[in-house]
Structure 1
Amino acid sequence: MTPPWAPAVNGLWSRVTGGSEPLRLAALAEPRTFEVRARGGGLEVAAGDALSACVGIHRYLREACGVRVTWDTQLPLALGHLPDASFTGRARVREFYYLNFCTFSYSTAYWGWDEWQREIDWMALHGVTMPLNLVGHEAALALAYGRLGMTDERIRGFLGGPGYLPFLYLGCLDSFAGPLPDHWIPQRLALARRILARQRSFGMRPVLPAFTGHVPASFGGRTRYWQGMPTTVVDPGDPLFGRFSTGIARAQAELFGTDHLYAADPFIEMPPDEVDGDTGYPTAVASAIIDGLRAADPDATWVLQSWPFSYQSGYWTRERVSAFLDGIPADRLLILDLWGEADPQWPRFDGFGGRPWVWNGLLNFGGRAEPVADLRSADRNIEAALGSDRPPVGLGLTMEAIHTTPAFYELIADRAWSAEPPLEDWVREFGRQRYGSTAPAVDEAWQALRVSVLDGDAKAIFPERFISLAVTRPHYGLLDSSVGDDVRQALFYRPIDLLTACRALLAAPPSPAAGDDLALACAALLLRVIDHRFGRWDAFLAPFDDLDDLVGTRPTLRLSTWVDAARRWAGDEEGEWVLEDNSRRMLTVWNTAENERLHDYSARLWSGLVRGYYKRRWELFVRHLPQALEPGGREAAQSTLDASLHELAADFIAHGPAADAHDGDVRTVAARVLDRYGDEFSAL
């Protein structure tokens, strides 16, 4: 008997492989299991559910066909004849969670259906059961606010710019970088419905956002601040709280249906003591949120991120966390331990007191493109969590931006199904499957990557740690000796290992994925060269041009690709202005030129940004440097530099880079980079 999920899996098979080879599907009684057998040129997959069938297909593609479907794999695959093989699998965990609120700003803000369709196929092949979905939530908010008496104009003004919507959903800001274009909501509503329908066809249960207490200021309440930006929250005892919470959940269900999973983080980076010194306040907020959800949906489960407990651990003591969580029935809560590879919270809170929780790998903050990770830390922490007295019900991926450092996330997805093979063997096989090649250069490259940029202390990737002088906002305080410590800590591996990886990638058989890895590995090399040339002003700026040329060979590493995607949603002149502003503002000053708290948080090694923004900032630094070096001249020079930097940022956000992205062959540019800088880098 053909299983009901067969159409979804057959559709994926056709999109991923071209569908030229036959696929036969059958159902198993036990969920989260699969049996795969290929014989006579056809593939038979029996599984307990659609996602297990997709994981089984991906296992076959990896281990029998030697090709892994990563974010940048060229599809459809050219498989040819399917080799005979058989595999079985059983999930180690019940759930696999995917995405972060921030991802919907830093990566997917301007995606259309083509991008989402491919991403959902990736989710299915990797066994994602619970994807977060924020697309279209503005439609639910507009419907709920309209019922509370707000006009369309006021609603769009409150929602603000499209690129910043996820931070409004988190309660971090509102009325910023907008207004929301008037055509945006109906277009995104239609897209959201397609996304949710496809996810549900695979048996995924999407997590949708919920009310956190954040309201338009006109409704009254108390002011709180996130990164210097004010928002208003209504008191949990105010009847408005319930009206908003229930009304938004009901509006959302009307538009999108529900899988009874709701994400809400009322104190994500804003500890309650900034709002109210009452020790019972967090518990009251928790109770008000879950009561409002259950009034709209009696089967509601609250999905809560543990990020505040890590990020502001000084406030979130064991006692405060316990009191907060006690406001939520244990069977109505799922906790996401957000940063499991670097700062897991489950040991600190004894497995969250037996409440259901999910171990997650985060790694990427803001979409930074340098290919660094700590595979050993992730692998070790996963096994520690799964072997604990109160293990997680699932694993997940909660990166702030996707399509960076795929090895890290692929490892976690694989570990949701098997602890084998050991990490060193896994990395070797990953490299071969990623490129579809067993060439010696592939093994050499991935061995060298494993012991260099993929073997970092996870804390060294913390968002507020130094990345590189290349993407650091210039100021004359950097002339002090402390910058040397940052430069040394950023080089946490032996230069010879990364240089070996770059040269081996250059010699590997060409493929889109190999080209991406080559560009980013050589970019990491150039960042360290730039750092170590600081103070040698005659040579400092030259590597910026080579870096821009290098990343410009990859369409995914061009600012123009990002801005063009935003323009697709413009609709009219006002929409074009807002979307272009948002797309460039997020990657540069983030908020405003005057508020420097988040400047360069989303620093990207993208063509157009490197030469058109980062290099131009350092040119201004060098121009005013003679004055800064004069006795008593630093303060005046800094004032002049700051004014110039503000002017540059405003111009860049409004008009973009002076020169657009480059074409070119990545291997040619990489060879030039290694020839020019290889010896210098190896001597660091």
Structure 2
Amino acid sequence: MAADAVRPDWARAASGLADRVLGEGRPPIEWEGLEAARRSFAYRCEGGPLTVRATDGVAAAVGLHTYLRRVCSRSVGWDTPLPLDTTRFPDAPLTRGDASIEQTYYLNFCTYGYTSTFWGWADWEREIDWMALHGVTAPLSLVGHEAVLREAYTRLGLDDETVRAFLGGPSYLPWQYMGNLDGFAGPLPSDWIDTHLELGRRILERQRAFGMRPVLPSFTGHVPPQLAPERTTPRTWHGFVTEVLSPSDPLYARLAEQVTRCQIDLLGTDHRYAADPFIEMPPVETDPAYPGTVAGATLAGLTAADPEAVWVLQAWPFSYQRDFWSDERVRAFLDSIPDERLLVLDLWAEADPQWERFDAFSGKPWMWCSLLNFGGRTDPIGDLQGAVDGLNRARRAPTPPVGVGLAMEATHNNTAFFELVADQAWNPVEDVARDWLPGFVEQRYGPDRDPALLRAWQGLNATVYGARGVRIFPEQFNGVLALSPGYGDLAEPERLRADVEGLVWYDPAVLHRAWADLVEAAERDPDLARGPLGHDLVEVATAVLARVADRLHLDLVEDALREGAAGPERVERFLGLFTDLEALLATRPEFTFREWEEKAASWGGDADECAVMVDNARRLLTVWDTPESPFLDDYAGRLWSGLVGGYYRDRWRMWAEGLDAALSDREGAEARLEERLQKRAARFLDEGPEDEAGPGGVVERSRALLDRYGDPR
């Protein structure tokens, strides 16, 4: 490699990343540019500094990460303790890598509610490093958009107080931007808008320094009704009513242009704009031509402000509301948008690919995306081999995807699944168990690790990560732990048994053996449990105990129906599982509600602002709306300490206390239980979680649970 090569403009960003990942006392790295027809990197180390050449900053980060993974057997995940404290770089021959797919998309509007609402710069800096190391080129970036809307609407005559009331609370901003709701759980503090404008600028500056091209939100027709009195049409999403402008109203295109111009002024642009005017809400007019009219007005506003604008559209409505979005309607809508102006995200392609249904979206550029996580579930589940098979099938299509995407509703979960999908942009595989899993395990835990760790992951791949044909969706994959209780199962015990058995599509003995392998490996090397292994111990335990809880609940119902009363011992064993799991969850901060709430409270400037932040943090992960609302309750339920042993356990205790009465008067007992559940939810919103479990490390707690629940019989 040429010693006199010109230092590339991304080298500073790459060096900073290396400092954070490896420590500021790391060995030297020389960064050089690389000319290539596609995104590429090359590295070499021969008795001196590591040299990394790359076409761009993201490729350079992937090159560094590939060297660390292949040569040093160390990967950098969401839960990897940093810095790695690397003191020397082992020699490595010249090695080159080329992207097999040019772009990698990352995040989902919902992620900004379910995961990152209360992140500060330190959180975002680490996340952007993760993005670069995993090849992300097109992150969705929403931070700072509240300032854009304030600027646009105040330019059009609204006052600051009205705009902040329209925006609502911080946890709900992503759904405000998608047009699902407005004015809920707020008002948004003015300081929040100012601080997040600066945070958004800092995020974008760092992403662009690596050469990423962020996707920013744009106007979708959803407006404060004061802007156009008596000219808007109401629509409803899960009980929330919003107002939309007609695309034929001159204000529609004007607003689309104004929002785009304000965004360019405040945050710059990479000419990609996310707009989803029909996300989970069918058009307000049934005329088949109406969606095309919306598309025309949206594009007119975008291109008036930015002649290079490209609309980034989620294909989610075509799947979620398939009854409305017939093949004819979808094709008419897509045909109304010029090919060069649209990029389609096939958001749930690992489970319900729309590219096959619509012939690769009629020639529009599109990305194959994996969603998997809805609302932030924390127990491991996925279909590793199925995801790879689905993406490889798309690659062989006449019009293959231009990118691969990670579009989870909440991130920092199911590490193996999302690491695997991200890897496919640079190192595609055919057989996950043979070609990918051994390397993943070695790199996750470090070199020369216990053989039991690979055995454990082989067991996980054969069970919870081998969910072939399982539809992973909240309404179809709910265990009892985070489920709001009721007595409907008393009338349908056969259906309950079928549901419980349907959640176990694998041999439980294999999963329990994998759990035991992880625990035994941690006991032989307790230091390893301070890193990713500790996280994995908790995740796998929740996978086991969630299904044990389902079985104990089934036994309780069947026993009560058979005996005419609930058995006290069965009740105690069922509720005791919540207490036991709580104790394990409390050993890892990422599984505690307290950490989530404290991060939210840190954004409150005064008592009133702090109250809004804390309310949002509690509300989103429990009732979502209000305790009385029938919609979205527990949608974002987490198996977290502070919820499992308190909020969830209390609800099931109330259920058990009313079970005997429900056997003779189910409707009356149901009404009484619902009243008690609403009061419990209201108390949680007021008081928050109870104190977490006492002392005990993740290894000791894991052993105790394994001994108690590790027999799959």
- What is residue 593 of structure 1 aligned with on the other side? 627
What value does the CA root-mean-square deviation take over the aligned residues?
1.2
Task: Write the mapping of 1:244-643 to structure 2, written as runs, cut at 5 A.
Answer: 244-272=255-283, 275-420=284-429, 422-425=431-434, 426-437=436-447, 438-457=449-468, 459-479=470-490, 480-481=492-493, 482-508=495-521, 509=525, 510-511=528-529, 512-534=531-553, 535=556, 536-630=570-664, 633-643=665-675
Letter in 2 for 1:530: A
- What is residue 2 of structure 1 aligned with on the other side? 7
- What is residue 171 of structure 1 aligned with on the other side? 179
Q: Is the 8 A contact 2:335 2:362 kept in 1?
A: no
- What is residue 196 of structure 2 aligned with on the other side? 188
Residue 707 of structure 2 corresponds to residue 675 of structure 1: yes
Match of 1:231 among 230, 242, 245: 242
Residue 133 of structure 2 corresponds to residue 128 of structure 1: no
Range moving further from structure 2, 544-553 or 415-424: 415-424
Matched pairs, number: 677
Structure 2 counterpart SS, 1:469: coil
Q: Is the 8 A contact 2:376 2:409 kept in 1?
A: yes
Q: Is the 8 A contact 1:41 1:83 kept in 2?
A: no
Letter in 1 for 2:29: L
Deviations 1:568-593 (A, max 9, x none): 11111111111111101111111111
Letter in 2 for 1:240: L
Structure 2 counterpart SS, 1:186: helix
Inter-partner Cα distance in structure 2 for 1:248 and 1:198: 23
Deviations 1:610-637 (A, max 9, x none): 011100000111112221112xx11111
Length-normalised TM-score, structure 1: 0.97
Letter in 1 for 2:442: R
Q: Is the 8 A contact 1:106 1:400 kept in 2?
A: yes
- What is residue 166 of structure 2 aligned with on the other side? 158
Length-normalised TM-score, structure 2: 0.94
Letter in 2 for 1:524: A
Inter-partner Cα distance in structure 2 for 1:357 and 1:381: 15
- What is residue 69 of structure 2 aligned with on the other side? 62
Deviation at 1:458, TM superposition (A): 5.8
- What is residue 559 of structure 2 aligned with on the other side? none
Structure 2 counterpart SS, 1:464: helix
Structure 2 counterpart SS, 1:470: coil
- What is residue 149 of structure 2 aligned with on the other side? 141
Inter-partner Cα distance in structure 2 for 1:496 and 1:78: 39
Deviations 1:137-159 (A, max 9, x none): 00000000101111111111110
- What is residue 565 of structure 2 aligned with on the other side? none
Letter in 2 for 1:531: D
Deviation at 1:661, TM superposition (A): 5.6
Q: Is the 8 A contact 1:338 1:361 kept in 2?
A: yes
Q: Is the 8 A contact 2:586 2:692 kept in 1?
A: no
Q: Is the 8 A contact 1:589 1:600 kept in 2?
A: yes
Q: Is the 8 A contact 2:221 2:244 kept in 1?
A: yes
Inter-partner Cα distance in structure 1 for 2:133 and 2:244: 40
Deviation at 1:80, TM superposition (A): 2.7
Residue 265 and residue 459 in structure 1: after superposition, are their counterparts in 2 closer, same or farther (change >3 A)? farther
Unaligned runs of 5+ in 1: none
Q: Is the 8 A contact 1:41 1:81 kept in 2?
A: no
Deviation at 1:658, TM superposition (A): 2.6
Deviation at 1:526, TM superposition (A): 0.9
Structure 2 counterpart SS, 1:533: helix
Deviation at 1:248, TM superposition (A): 0.7
Q: Is the 8 A contact 2:168 2:183 kept in 1?
A: yes
- What is residue 84 of structure 1 aligned with on the other side? 91
Inter-partner Cα distance in structure 1 for 2:378 and 2:626: 23
Inter-partner Cα distance in structure 2 for 1:666 and 1:144: 50
Deviation at 1:242, TM superposition (A): 1.4
Q: Is the 8 A contact 2:485 2:655 kept in 1?
A: yes
Match of 1:111 among 119, 124, 143: 119
Structure 2 counterpart SS, 1:214: coil
Deviation at 1:4, TM superposition (A): 1.4
Match of 1:666 among 695, 698, 706: 698
Inter-partner Cα distance in structure 1 for 2:542 and 2:696: 16
Structure 2 counterpart SS, 1:144: helix
Letter in 2 for 1:24: E
Inter-partner Cα distance in structure 1 for 2:100 and 2:247: 39
Inter-partner Cα distance in structure 2 for 1:427 and 1:601: 31
Residue 60 of structure 2 corresponds to residue 53 of structure 1: yes
Deviations 1:440-465 (A, max 9, x none): 11111111111111111364311221
Structure 1 counterpart SS, 2:476: coil
Task: Write the mapping of 1:200-219 to structure 2, written as runs, cut at 5 A.
Answer: 200-218=208-226, 219=228
Range moving further from structure 2, 184-193 or 213-222: 213-222
Inter-partner Cα distance in structure 2 for 1:661 and 1:11: 39
Q: Is the 8 A contact 2:515 2:537 kept in 1?
A: yes
